[in-house]
Amino acid sequence: MTGAMVQETQDAVRETGTTVRGTAEFPWRIGTRGSLLALTQAGTVRDTLIAAGQQAELVIVKTAGDQSSDPVEKIGVGVFTAALREELAAGTVDIAVHSYKDLPTAPDPRFTMAAIPPREDPRDALVARDGLVLGELPAGAVIGTSAPRRAAQLRALGLGLEIVPLRGNLDTRLSKVANGELDAVVVARAGLARIGRTDAVTEALEPVQMLPAPAQGALAVECRSEETELVTILSALDDYGTRAAITAERALLAELEAGCTAPIGALAEVVESLDDDGRVVEELSLRGCAAAIDGSDVIRASAVGSLADAAELGRSLARELLELGARDLLSVSGSGAGTSSATTSEAAEETDRSSNPSPMENNR
């Protein structure tokens, strides 16, 4: 369609009183949290839409998690996404961009997960003083982390490290190492990559050392379910392999009934293998673990299945973990959740309570 034809169509639509979305006059409104990381993530979605001829803008939404230093078990699971979803349901924004790992596992029929873009590196990253890697940190070294999953797996390595809770945005966390307050911090490598700070990483932790959180490194792009045209537009951003991996990991998490504060790790990867006829086919390799919060035990299991059956692969591996004793580990970990400093959720990782709202911020 030529530019003149587009203009004629828009003029005709205006005459009938219908709003054309995705135009300079009526751009798609993308809801996002106000931290640097959240703005960067939402900005990639905005820029991709603009490159495809769909005008879009960012709208900053304050969340309760951004304004509180309390642990997530006190302010509630999903606190970092609830406000965005409220604005999406109210029609204040058209699209919401989340860090997928922050979303509750239960689906919300009001919304459609229109796109899961290609995933960033899902591994955890160590940022340590003097360029040290994990094995070089001396016994008694103080490491900050927000996640019970990370704390449990660090303790399980038996290195004699002191694990302390950590809140604040990524710059705040990195500064605690730079100023000597901590010997190291462990954060998601994806967050550092998105804000251009991978130079700070002293070691990317391999999954055999530390399995990442389910959906770590992935974005969730959702809109209202009735907006079928927008669902179609956003689907162009979707990556099939990433969606399959996230589906498997989240199914495992949901089956374990863990919620975002439980010490559960999961990682699914698309791998190539040979079928019975010697042809190369793609399969989904899934690893999962459940850990005692004190690091006394870590139960691991793995499975391989088809991408089309990703959800069942996740549920099946979760059942295997439960049979191996994960239920007991989760019960023990959960019983101490109210007192353990390690139970602060990693959903809080990108919190930026000092970010300045833009003029577009919704102040309802």
CA distances (Å), origin 191, targets 25, 55, 82, 165, 201 = 33, 26, 21, 18, 11
Catalytic position from the list 11, 66, 94, 102: 102
For residues 204 and 69, give the distance between their C-alpha atoms in angstroms, rounded to a whole number: 28
Q: Tokens for 170?
A: 């990524």
Q: Tokens for 340?
A: 């353990």
Element (H, E) at 59: strand 56-60
For residues 189 and 186, give the distance between their C-alpha atoms in angstroms, rounded to a whole number: 9
Quick check: helix, strand or coil at residue 108?
coil
Instruction: Write down how long the chain is.
Output: 364
Range 94-119 burial, b when 16+ CB lie within 10 A, else e: bbbbbbbbbbebeebeebbbbbbbeb
Residues 6+ apart with CB under 8 A from 260: 72, 77, 78, 101, 102, 104, 213, 345, 346, 347
Q: Tokens for 323?
A: 């049979």
Question: Taking each helix axis from N to C terminus, what angle separates 240-256 and 310-323, rounded to the nearest 10 degrees?
Answer: 30
The HSE-up count of residue 196 (CA atoms within 13 Å, CB side) is 2
Q: Tokens for 324?
A: 């191996």
Task: Look up 183 and say whether it is catalytic.
Answer: no
**126 within 8 A of 201, measured Cβ to Cβ:** yes
Q: How many CB atoms lie within 10 A of CB 236?
A: 12
- One-letter amino acid at 66 equals D
Range 353-363 burial, b when 16+ CB lie within 10 A, else e: bebeeeeeebe
* Enzyme catalytic residues: 102
